[in-house]
Amino acid sequence: MSQRIFGVVLLVASIGLALSAWGYQAPFSYEPVGPRAYPLLLLSLLALGGIYLLVKPASAHAVSNEPPLDRHVVRKVTTCVVLLVIYAAVFELLGFIPASTVFAIGMARLYGGSWRASVIAGLLLGVGMYLLFDKLLDVPLPLGILSSLEI
């Protein structure tokens, strides 16, 4: 039942945010697809996920598949939200690569990754996503403290 409630909330939030993003016009355009394509694509995927949660058949084991809302789960969710807020706060100051690397390391550690694996994955994710967006997709991202490396 809680999955269906979450599906409704997700669908309503996605529709509301999509309506808000639809009319967005940037005074300048630095992306080849425009400033609203990315959020609308993500919101469309979220809405599809919400619809799936609403229409999927209920499983006889649905109750046993959901983790209990105990202290451990609440701590993980709270830590995830705190990491996201910190990521948003330091994104421009530190730059995409360091902020994304630290965020990825924190998330990997939160879900049981070893320090070595978390650091390697965080570095690969930070650098790889920067190269994908900035170089391949031509979406400029802030370098922050690494701005001296820009060519």
Question: Is 89 in the same domain as 113?
Answer: yes
Question: Is 74 in the same domain as 137?
Answer: yes
Cα–Cα distance, 75 to 68 (Å, whole number): 13
Residues 6+ apart with CB under 8 A from 53: 3, 4, 6, 7, 10
28 secondary structure, DSSP code: S
Contact criterion met (CB below 8 Å) for 23 and 39: no
pLDDT for residue 62: 54
Q: How far is CA 145 from CA 56, 88, 97, in A?
A: 46, 16, 9
The count of domains in the chain is: 2
Question: Is 26 in the same domain as 77?
Answer: no
Question: Is 37 in the same domain as 95?
Answer: no
Question: Is 53 in the same domain as 108?
Answer: no
Question: Is 135 in the same domain as 90?
Answer: yes
What are φ and ψ of residue 54, in 5° steps? -75, -40
pLDDT for residue 136: 82
pLDDT for residue 59: 64
- For the chain, list residues with pLDDT below 70: 1, 25-36, 58-67, 150-151
Question: Is 149 in the same domain as 138?
Answer: yes
Cα–Cα distance, 51 to 15 (Å, whole number): 11
Q: At which of 33, 66, 99 does a domain end?
A: 66
Question: Is 36 in the same domain as 2?
Answer: yes
Question: Is 60 in the same domain as 33?
Answer: yes
Q: Which domain holds residue 85?
A: 68-151
Question: Is 78 in the same domain as 146?
Answer: yes
Question: Is 106 in the same domain as 117?
Answer: yes
pLDDT for residue 127: 92
Q: At which of 24, 43, 66 does a domain end?
A: 66
Cα–Cα distance, 72 to 93 (Å, whole number): 32
